[in-house]
Amino acid sequence: MKKWTVLVVLVSGLTFLSFTPTADRYFEIAKNLDIFAGAFREINTYYVDEVNPNTLMRTGIDAMLASLDPFTNYIPENEVEDFRTINTGQYGGIGAVTREINGKTIITMMYEGYPAYRGGLRIGDEVIKMDEVELSKITIEQANQLMHGQVGTPVSLTVRRLGVRDPIKLQFKREKIKISNVPYFGMIGGNVGYLRLSNFTPDAGKEVRAAVVSLKESGAKAIVLDLRENPGGLLDEAVKICNIFLPKGKLVVTMKGKIAEFNSTYNTEMPPTDLEIPVAVVINRNSASASEIVAGTLQDYDRAIIVGEKSYGKGLVQLTRQLGYNSQVKITTAKYYTPTGRCIQVLDYSHRRPDGSVGSVPDSLKKEFKTANGRTVYDGGGIDPDINLSHPELAPISEALLNQGLIFDYATLYASKHATIGEARNFSFTDADYQDFVGWLKTKSYTYQSPLEDQLQRLKTTAKAERLYDELKTPIDQLQTLLAESRKNDLNTYKEELRKLLEEEIVGRYFMERGKVEVTFKDDPEIRKSVEVLLASAQYNKILSRP
């Protein structure tokens, strides 16, 4: 009797469980996993050509995750080390950055104080061999893996250098490379200190705090914190950076997701460095995630003015989970909210259009929030700057010369002819220099197409498809002629834009990252505006609605 009672209870429990939403969900998961495994097995067995199972599975996983959001990613074992480097800013290597330019592996930057910098490598060197492995026979990814390695192990590079006939062989010993989160800090005139924060890897908060203290000791009465092009990183470091300018115990960010136990709030935990010093935070369209937490939090407390462009709009938080065979998956698990309660996520990935595309949060659904001083701010669209200074896109010719490596190549040529250039912030690419550059370009091959030329080409294609080309041929030809004439003047029309790109690339040859920052000060509208407002206390206080 007892056995029957237990059996009835067990069956009843299973029957009840089978009709719960959770049980239905688990059944659907198990069913689809079985279908997927079956399809994978059958394709590998019967497909007409040989199939690489690793490639097929990677394609399937990537396609699945792409239906969620761009930040949920699969990380196979061979990419884990690169992922770790991005998140920690540390790796075993020689401290050199490479890029593939026109099929060649080129040294594009070196970190000061590390083996590459000390050992005679130069920006612009073409690496042709690494430990006797010819790089022309492997991919750039494989070359990067060869460059990295265990600390203390040797590596040799054979490089081809402009102006030197024979290849040069250099020997290095790998060291622990720590990429600084603050590649530059210094005074920029008028008792204003400047620091650029490029990442949020471990110790970012400590590095920013040390930079602020050093700048104050140098006489800084105001601070510019530059977060442009900063993609974000560790949330804890964003909290620590906010803590530099905010009292202990202040709310910085709240995380909310599907799993309640993952929901959490983050408050400042340390005594602040300075609660009074005026601060300007500079952002642009590529300032994302942790950068937006810092900008948004300081804005919510009216602790800083925000200068530049509307930020990227990434209000999502990722968590990394371990999978089998040393692989990982990075999953979006929550949304974050600034102290006022706003989520700045700009794209709504949970409601895709029928074609799979994603739309921005419409203005009608954006909510209004109030800062500490009663200023109005909004959610659903990134961080809106208090002083908006939008930038036009690079001209097609500028983008082409950058992407095709010609700005870089000319900087290498210039550096080979000039032993020194004086101070970085005072360097000027003269009119005579520019004419030399234009003359040099005449010996090179490059291509580009302006948006107008692209539209005109599409018009021709459409006209031919609709059999209207004969009627439209004369005006189309006239437009083509006008565009061709205009194109001849592009090097003159966009001279100032190209000059700035050349100055930055050339100065980097002599002063690395530090120089590339300093040379921009004289022409940087965001920096100039930030300094202007920081030094005008009445304007600064008015923007922040201070009495």
Residues tagged active-site: 289, 300, 314
> For 225, how many CA atoms within 13 A lie in the half-sphere containing its CB?
31
Asked if 198 and 181 touch (Cβ cutoff 8 Å), the reply is yes
CA dihedral 13, 15, 21, 24 (to 10 degrees): 120
Comparing C-alpha atoms, which of 198, 318, 195, 302 is closest to residue 250? 302
Instruction: Write out the H or E segment, with its range, that includes residue 450.
Output: none
Residues whose CB is less than 8 angstroms from the CB of residue 432 and which lie 6 or more positions away in sequence, other chains included: none
Residues whose CB is less than 8 angstroms from the CB of residue 357 and which lie 6 or more positions away in sequence, other chains included: none
Strand pairing report for 192-196 and 222-226: parallel
Asked if 65 and 311 touch (Cβ cutoff 8 Å), the reply is no
Q: How many residues does the chain have?
A: 547
H helices present in 218-368, as ranges? 235-245, 290-300
Sheet with 222-226, strands from edge to edge, namely 184-187, 192-196, 222-226, 279-283, 305-308, 387-388
Alpha-carbon distance of 501 to 409, in angstroms, equals: 12
CA distances from 417 to 101, 413, 504 (A): 22, 7, 17
CA distances from 333 to 1, 296, 313, 319, 346 (A): 49, 21, 17, 6, 17
Phi, psi of 19 (to 5 degrees): -105, 5
SS3 per residue for 348-411: CCCCCCCCCCCCECCHHHCCEEECCCCCEEECCCCCCCCEECCCCCCCHHHHHHHHCCHHHHHH
Dump the DSSP string for 172-209. Answer: EE-EEEE--S--EEEE-STTEEEEE---B-TTHHHHHH
Alpha-carbon distance of 473 to 469, in angstroms, equals: 6
Phi, psi of 10 (to 5 degrees): -65, -45
Comparing C-alpha atoms, which of 364, 320, 366, 359 is closest to residue 343? 366
Asked if 315 and 292 touch (Cβ cutoff 8 Å), the reply is yes
